[in-house]
Amino acid sequence: MFLSHNEVMKQSTPPLSEPERQGVWQMFDRIAGRYDFLNHTLSMGIDLRWRRRLAEMLPPHPELKVLDLATGTADVPLAFCQHNGDVAQVTGMDLAEQMLGQGRKKISAAGLEQRIQLQTGDAMQVPAEDNSVDAVTISFGIRNVPDLDQTLREMQRVLKPGGYGLVLEFSTPEIPGFKQGYLLYLRHILPQLGALVSGDAYAYRYLNQTIESFPYGQDFCDRMLAAGFSDVLAEEQTGGIATIYRGIKPHQDSAPIAS
């Protein structure tokens, strides 16, 4: 069902020359060996709870076939198999081979090779057929692609009608006091701590800049609606530090009739 990355590259001209896009996934390749440690340490383990919640928000059907974009080191596919018994198959896709390599080791250590497959794939040009999966997810990935709307349209395209698109992404808390404290951490503490632990100052400056400028809440819901999702909802996590967005691909007969 899934096309190889090379097959998709042959089918159309990919926007691979964009320096920003190239730089982003290459940056993840650079820090792949330390990514999990950094992630879980700098978030104090809260990110594990968010991925577990994502697993709980998958469609309530048995034998789910799920596609996880920008899968990184496969924490999302692993969380799905560990926390949701309805998940039959997960395919994780990413452009960063080193991140996928780390993920493969974890999948094999968990004995989940039969349920989880990883492959090279661009979230903006997904190598999968239309209407082919029950759920498509992206966790802390959509902020890293050059074209958010194109990625959302791709998510919608590969979903079966009635399937769920789920996005887990950082957002900005609105609670007074908490918001100021969080922004202080994000702007001044995280970049220094991240640079110290990872040895890659750019990665953590990039992180805080992209979090603050990224649409969240109703703005992000509007982007999902524009991409063709219906029943869009946003569920804030941990006071709004992150948000899970869910949209459903409408059945054809419920789409508006053009006059």
The residue at minimum Cβ distance from ligand SAM is 72
Partners of 167 in the β-ladder = 138, 245
The yes or no reply on residue 124 touching ligand SAM (CB under 6 A) is yes
The yes or no reply on residue 75 touching ligand SAM (CB under 6 A) is yes
Nearest to 172 by CA among 237, 76, 245, 247: 237
The yes or no reply on residue 79 touching ligand SAM (CB under 6 A) is no
Site for ligand SAM in 3-32 (CB under 6 A): 24-25, 28
The yes or no reply on residue 80 touching ligand SAM (CB under 6 A) is no
The yes or no reply on residue 167 touching ligand SAM (CB under 6 A) is no
Question: Site for ligand SAM (CB under 6 A): which residue of 31, 38, 99, 159?
Answer: 99
Question: Whole-number minimum distance, CB 214 to ligand SAM, in Å?
Answer: 12
The yes or no reply on residue 128 touching ligand SAM (CB under 6 A) is no
Question: Site for ligand SAM (CB under 6 A): which residue of 91, 102, 132, 144?
Answer: 144
The yes or no reply on residue 140 touching ligand SAM (CB under 6 A) is yes
Residues of this chain that interact with ligand SAM (CB under 6 A) are 24-25, 28, 69-72, 75-76, 94-96, 99, 122-124, 139-141, 144-145
